[in-house]
Structure 1
Amino acid sequence: MAHSLLVMKFGGTNMQDARAIRHSAGLAARSVREGVKVVVVVSAMAGVTNGLLRLAEAAQGGDIAAANDEIAAMRTRHFTAAQDLGAAPDSPAVREIRELHETLRQAVYGVYLLRELTPRSRDLIVAFGERLSAPLMGLALEQGGVRAHHLTGGQAGIMTDAHFGNARPLPGTGERISDRLGGLLAAGITPVVAGFMGENEDGAITTLGRGGTDFSATIIGQALGADEVWAWKDVDGVMSADPRVVEDARNIEVLSYGEVMELAYFGAKVLHPLAVTPLQESGIPLRVKSAADPDFPGTLVREQAGGDAAHPVKAVTAIRGVSIISVTGAGVLGVPDVVASLFAAIARENITLLMVSQSSSMSNVSLAVQSADARRTLAALRRGVSGELGIEEQPGVAVLAIVGAGMRGQKGVAARMFGALAGEDVNILMISQGSSELNISVAIEGAQVDQATRAVHAAFRLGETAPTAAD
């Protein structure tokens, strides 16, 4: 089908060096030559975001030498890419990269002097990754004969609240984006937007959370009323399981918005969990495509799930490195305010709960959290609840989830999952089924997660070619 406007997002591996950037620019240029208007949204080069976080923390800890070494290495990497893309030493792109590194150096030096890294200064520093990769993509497009203009998220019109590190777009963002990018598109210019970032009402740079470039792309897609948003990845789309664990994992042709959010939440590193929310209101489809195989249709994410009764489950996914925190004691149950105080203590710390279960006979509440958050969770609970309750952590756990809209109202899905786990002698520590009936998740021993994933994948025959759902 013919498109008139596409938003294309390129992730870090598709931006990692001059060759990858040139290839990505070629994918965008291909659509531009077909007469499609394209907005390109870019991530930082692979590894740069983590490098920026590292150097910010080094500066905060007083190790300015380590921070400066990291900045120098980053600068060389971006200069090399610019040269390889054909930029002259005195070209605007190279000048801009030099100036950005100088600004970064000053920001990091400020952190070093204060020995303080606030969420606001962390956002300023970490957003340099995308600010540096956008001019490189602009350069590659121009070299490929496409007129391009690059902008930061804020310049493109993404206005957010001041929740640094996890900002959300404000009402009115859509109009600003369509004003600012609409003019460029009308003039035949391809906008290149630095993803993952916006700015708040004071003009301070904010970031949208890990994986936030997907979110930038869908915010822009909604604002412009795009035909589709294409997320270019280094995989064939969304897979039925992690292909490194399950050999016969397959690409899923169609997913609903709800299914993709469940998958993202349960550890499938596919998309930012909120990425599809801007599209749901407008019904704009999202396509996850493989940069290595651009003609492969990938995975289409849309309102209706598609699928059939024989394949109620679409995918199995796992979160590793989980701890179960158990709160026990006679006082736990029958006292609603005890449970309320548990959740309040966790909310104050901004800790994500992966699963919750409660048993009446044992009078306990079990909470599954990432092990990285376990220490904070224990401390928060000990502060927040009365002394006669026992609180303990069981580390080394994984959460395994099956996701699929076809499970709703279909009998025997849970039985098939538990049967597959029992067949592998996998001990189930905790069970939870979402009220939406889009997922069933279980907590199991971390050491058994790979064999459990393979067994469940096989039990639902996810490796077989499913009959294509009629659209």
Structure 2
Amino acid sequence: MSQTGHSLLVMKFGGTNMGDAAAIRHSASLAARSVDEGVKVIVVVSAMAGVTNQLLKIADDAQKGDIAAANDEIAAMRTRHFTAAQELGASPDSAAVREIREMHETLRQAVYGVYLLRELTPRSRDLIVAFGERLSAPLMSLALEQSGHRAKHLTGGEAGILTDTNFGNAKPLPTTYERIKDRLSGFMAAGVIPVVSGFMGETEKGAITTLGRGGTDFSATIIGKALHADEVWGWKDVDGVMSADPRVVADARNVDTLSYGEVMELAYFGAKVLHPLAVTPLQDSGIPLRLKNSRDPDFPGTLVQAEPNNDQAHPVKAVTAIRNVSLINVTGAGALGVPQVVASLFDAIARVNITLLMVSQSSSMSNVSIAVQSGDAERTLSALREVGGDLRIEEQDGVAVLAIVGSGMRGQKGVSARMFTALADADVNILMISQGSSELNVSVAINGAEVDQATRAVHAAFRLNEAPVAAD
């Protein structure tokens, strides 16, 4: 597919597309292909597959005092990066290998500091976990140079991404966009491909921050907005966004277009498509995001744009599920009649920074039910118990949240009924129901053991395996 009409693209490569030397070489060839057609390209890279989790484990081992385990993991990681560099053509005394060696030494020192203090602050964790992207960027530069292109790798901070100090989930500051433009425009004018370490930025004082899990998507869209890119391309190992998890639903198909709102709902409800905030920088500027398959680069993938492409016959675009959910029920008739008590419940949850997946409240205000990730349940329960009053708090674990997403549901009657009928026919019991006022989603809490059969039943009920009718 010729990229005629595009003069500037930001291309993001995820972990599987950075998995080893062969994957990195293939990813570099995809960027080079557009460059050779006269398109300016900025490359944004994730860590090599599995490295982020490895770094989190290293940090935890050091905090627990197991420095031997941490050092073993660092040594294994160093070998993996050295091997990739050599396979990409770097000699043992090259600048790339020297840089990788120095970075591993800095990582070792940071981890040793955690071990000595037995304390892992959010700031230290960000410093450690960002090494994944810092180490993969030189490998991508190497691959591009081997293919005859000039490249320059930069950390997120060096590329101009300036964030607040919310370590672990940092947001870009308004001045970021101008800074990125200043830092990257010169490279592009000189015909050099900037290779940016995704997922990371820095504070005004130069401390390294990360943008939250999946934050490389966010880095790419921030850079896309700053440089007024024609499109941002997210390269994956699937055909873009699917109508359901293809491992669960055999006839799931590619969704060709989604609106920004639809893709945010899908990301929020567990579809591993994007960082939930990734489209926010694009919404202001109307820049489209295209999710493409690196194994089939000519397939157009999924286009994410401002306007939804509604097809009356298919009001729902996709069905997705969040597993490992806990429902927490708070009851106490007298006490909950007071609005301040409800407010104090949500205040308590906000203080411990818990994301609520669903909320349901009975009209008498004697019962509030909330759904949270099971990993957050203990913290949520502790926070709620501190509210005091005559409240009974119960947890039900082993739950999943199933959601249907599509802007075509807005104003169309009978969508929820179709979903509930499909679930009833599949003998799935609904524990809790929530519909967003935007009418972009309907979500239900169900027994976790039934989530696969529920997904298949709902997918079939909305005929999501059928190709949508093109809008006029």
TM-score (norm 2): 0.99
Equivalences for 1:16-415 in 2 at 5 Å? Answer: 16-360=19-363, 363-386=366-389, 388-415=390-417
Provide Cα deviations, 1:64-110, integer angstroms capped at 9, x if missing partner: 00000000000000000000001000111000000000000000001
| Structure 1 SS opposite 2:239 | coil
1:452 to 427, 451, 454: 454
Shift of 1:15: 0.1
Q: Structure 1: give runs of 5+ residues left out of the alignment.
A: none
Tell me the equivalent position of 1:443.
445
Shift of 1:465: 1.3
Shift of 1:363: 2.0
Q: Is the 8 A contact 2:431 2:445 kept in 1?
A: yes
Instruction: State the distance in 2 between where 1:151 and 1:195 align.
Output: 10
Provide Cα deviations, 1:232-259, integer angstroms capped at 9, x if missing partner: 0011000000000000000000000000
Shift of 1:308: 1.0
Provide Cα deviations, 1:412-447, integer angstroms capped at 9, x if missing partner: 000000000010111100000001110000000001
Instruction: State the distance in 2 between where 1:151 and 1:385 align.
Output: 51
Shift of 1:469: 2.9
- Give, as a single letter, the amino acid of the residue that structure 1 aligns with 2:120: L
- Give, as a single letter, the amino acid of the residue that structure 1 aligns with 2:428: V
Instruction: State the distance in 2 between where 1:218 and 1:338 align.
Output: 40
Q: Is the 8 A contact 1:327 1:389 kept in 2?
A: yes
Instruction: State the distance in 2 between where 1:467 and 1:439 align.
Output: 21
| Structure 1 SS opposite 2:201 | strand
| Structure 1 SS opposite 2:253 | coil
Q: Is the 8 A contact 1:331 1:389 kept in 2?
A: no
Q: Is the 8 A contact 2:337 2:364 kept in 1?
A: no
Instruction: State the distance in 2 between where 1:409 and 1:84 align.
Output: 56
Provide Cα deviations, 1:349-400, integer angstroms capped at 9, x if missing partner: 00000000011358210000001111111111001232x1100000010000
Runs of 4+ in 1 over 4 A off after TM superposition: none
Instruction: State the distance in 1 between where 2:135 and 2:6 align.
Output: 30
| Structure 1 SS opposite 2:383 | helix
| Structure 2 SS opposite 1:56 | helix
Provide Cα deviations, 1:284-339, integer angstroms capped at 9, x if missing partner: 00000000000000000000110211110000000000010000111244210110
Alignment RMSD, CA only?
Answer: 0.8
Instruction: State the distance in 2 between where 1:138 and 1:144 align.
Output: 10
Instruction: State the distance in 2 between where 1:357 and 1:229 align.
Output: 37
Instruction: State the distance in 2 between where 1:469 and 1:397 align.
Output: 38
Q: Is the 8 A contact 1:316 1:402 kept in 2?
A: yes
Q: Please tell me whether residue 7 in structure 1 is matched to residue 2 in structure 2.
A: no
Q: Is the 8 A contact 1:130 1:196 kept in 2?
A: yes
Provide Cα deviations, 1:128-164, integer angstroms capped at 9, x if missing partner: 0000000000000000011100000000000000000
- Give, as a single letter, the amino acid of the residue that structure 2 aligns with 1:285: P
Instruction: State the distance in 2 between where 1:442 and 1:353 align.
Output: 14
| Structure 1 SS opposite 2:33 | helix
Shift of 1:2: 1.9
- Give, as a single letter, the amino acid of the residue that structure 1 aligns with 2:161: I
Instruction: State the distance in 2 between where 1:395 and 1:120 align.
Output: 32
Q: Structure 2: give runs of 5+ residues left out of the alignment.
A: none
Instruction: State the distance in 1 between where 2:219 and 2:335 align.
Output: 43
Shift of 1:49: 0.4
Q: Is the 8 A contact 1:230 1:289 kept in 2?
A: yes
Instruction: State the distance in 2 between where 1:73 and 1:313 align.
Output: 46
- Give, as a single letter, the amino acid of the residue that structure 2 aligns with 1:419: T
Instruction: State the distance in 1 between where 2:187 and 2:210 align.
Output: 24
| Structure 2 SS opposite 1:402 | strand
Aligned residues between the structures? 469
TM-score (norm 1): 0.99
| Structure 2 SS opposite 1:27 | helix
Instruction: State the distance in 2 between where 1:219 and 1:251 align.
Output: 26
| Structure 2 SS opposite 1:184 | helix
Percent sequence identity is 81
Instruction: State the distance in 1 between where 2:176 and 2:35 align.
Output: 26
- Give, as a single letter, the amino acid of the residue that structure 2 aligns with 1:296: F
Instruction: State the distance in 2 between where 1:172 and 1:27 align.
Output: 31
Instruction: State the distance in 1 between where 2:376 and 2:445 align.
Output: 17
Shift of 1:467: 1.6
Instruction: State the distance in 2 between where 1:280 and 1:448 align.
Output: 36
- Give, as a single letter, the amino acid of the residue that structure 2 aligns with 1:442: V
Q: Is the 8 A contact 2:336 2:365 kept in 1?
A: no
Q: Is the 8 A contact 1:22 1:85 kept in 2?
A: yes
